[in-house]
Amino acid sequence: MKPLLRALVLCLFASVLHAAAPALPNILLIVSDDQGWPDLGCIGSKPIRTPTLDRLAAEGVRATSFYVTWPACTPSRGSILTGRYPQRNGLYDMVRNDMTNYGHQFTPDEYAVSPEMTLGLDVQEKTLGNLLGDKYERGVVGKWDMGQARRYLPLQRGFDFFYGIGNNGIDYYTHERYGVHSMFRGNERTKDHLGTYATDAFEQEALRFIKASTKPWLLYLCFNAPHSASSFGADPKDKKDRVGVQCPKEYADAYKDTIPDEKLRRYYGAVTRMDEAIGRIMSQIEAKGQKQNTLTLFMSDNGGSGNGGNAPLKGSKSTMWEGGLRVPFIAHWPAQLPAGRTTDEFLTSLEILPTIQTITDTTFRSETQLDGFDMLPVLKGQRGSQRKHMFWQRRSDIAARVGSWKWVKSAKGGGLFNLAEDLGETTDLSKQAPDKLAELQAAWNQWRQEMDQTPPRGPFRDY
Ligand SMILES: [Ca+2]
């Protein structure tokens, strides 16, 4: 073949190949903080207003049996980022300075060697950011909560951009946690946006990140809303004297007619303000012509902490009941997912990383054991969920779900429940179904053995 003709053929072949390869989707992974399972407007059980999230659910898929791996912030988020059980990735308890709960004020020198600075996600663990690598621009905006020492921060964990808080809570306006300034840009603490309501600051940084992107992007957007602020009232030693959830006054006032309790109005207002920020971010994605091919996932990191309750679920954040572990979840991807679908298939946050792995055609190191699977076919309604069981442990509290059966053993109670008939975990069937109880206990023990046999990870395990 003559050189010119050969070049033409090659050129034609390359353009056919290019046309055949689907464009990589953008990925917006939104995590809210302590938002209860019923706390979406579209569920209809509360007067809470979330028009953006309702629209995403109407245009996408809402999952109603979606679980996190731990009933509070840090370990739940570690699983989202690694696709692994907390007991496998090593981050199976909170990274925080508990002494602050008793009114202790850390000096800078004390804080520097405290758990909030010295603990974090084991540096051997690989994150979503590592998975996508240079194929993507990878940003983190909001609550990181995987450790604040430089080695734990997003720029060292596979991400290109970080604006947010390193620890697990702040005052929404001063951006302080118990007197320590906690907002970062990259690896350094920053006072950019000081005095700005945190949700507003996160919205602005998310908009800027998406606008500036020049290739497919992943944004891990973690609002601290609607978590209670890390601010004391007049007496720092009074555990009951906490500021609670903060939000701009007009957002709380908008609930005056329906919510008599002022603290609860602030919780609702914080959710509505977050919903509005998500709306503006979705508008920017649309303006960039990326609405069709952006996968947006929305979830809460754990169950509601008690603001208005989690009915019909039992319990709340920190417990092994459904109210602690089952969270709201929405998936939106106009190019791939059906509109207005609701699924009760058994799914968890462990499925997020494997799903992203599949749709971005990326792979982890072969020795990395993942605990979930690609859930896209389940969300599309093409098949039932591969998940047959799920296990939890928070210190001496444990739980297992196998099929529709759930076993709980915890300081706050326990029993065997059939969720298919008893979502509220009201009727203990241990005596009526001893074989089922033994089956779940054996499954939990087997899981625990598997966790013990995995390559050890810090920061808590003695190895
Ligand atoms: Ca949380």
CA of 367 to the centre of ligand 1 (A): 30
CA of 34 to the centre of ligand 1 (A): 4
d(CA 344, CA 107): 49
Q: Using CB atoms within 10 A of its CB, is residue 176 exposed (0-12), middle (13-18) or buried (19+)? A: middle
CA of 20 to the centre of ligand 1 (A): 42
Contact at 8 Å (CB) between 62 and 288?
no
Spell out the residues 6+ positions from residue 299 whose beta carbon is closer than 8 angstroms to its own: 30, 31, 32, 66, 68, 327, 328, 329, 330, 349
Domain with CATH 3.40.720.10 in the chain: 22-387
Spell out the residues 6+ positions from residue 113 whose beta carbon is closer than 8 angstroms to its own: none
Q: Using CB atoms within 10 A of its CB, is residue 6 exposed (0-12), middle (13-18) or buried (19+)? A: exposed
CA of 200 to the centre of ligand 1 (A): 19
CA of 199 to the centre of ligand 1 (A): 15
pLDDT tens for each residue of 65-79:
999 999 999 999 999
CA of 323 to the centre of ligand 1 (A): 13
d(CA 198, CA 215): 27
Q: How many CA atoms lie within 13 A of 161 on its CB side?
A: 22
Place of tokens 């992203």: 356
Q: How many CA atoms lie within 13 A of 245 on its CB side?
A: 32
Please, what is the Cα angle at 40 between 34 and 44, to 5 degrees? 135
Q: 391-457: what fold?
A: Arylsulfatase, C-terminal domain (3.30.1120)
Strand order in the sheet with 405-410: 389-394, 397-402, 405-410, 413-418
CA of 304 to the centre of ligand 1 (A): 8
**Residues with a beta carbon under 5 angstroms from ion ligand 1:** 33-34, 73, 301-302
Taking only the tens of pLDDT, the chain with its 463 residues reads 555 556 555 555 555 544 456 799 999 999 999 999 999 999 999 999 999 999 999 999 999 999 999 999 999 999 999 999 999 999 999 999 988 877 788 888 999 999 999 999 999 999 999 999 999 999 999 999 999 999 999 999 999 999 999 999 999 999 998 889 999 999 999 999 999 999 999 999 999 999 999 999 999 999 999 999 988 776 666 666 678 999 999 999 999 999 999 999 999 999 999 999 999 999 999 999 999 999 999 999 999 998 989 999 999 999 999 999 999 999 999 999 999 999 999 999 999 999 999 999 998 877 799 999 999 999 999 999 999 999 999 999 999 999 999 999 999 999 999 999 999 999 999 999 999 999 999 999 999 999 999 999 999 988 7
**DSSP code string of 143-206:** E--S--SGGGSGGGTT-SEEEEESSS---TTT-EETTEE-EEETTEE--TTTTS-HHHHHHHHH
CA of 383 to the centre of ligand 1 (A): 31
- Where does 22-387 sit in CATH, by number? 3.40.720.10
Domain with CATH 3.30.1120.10 in the chain: 391-457
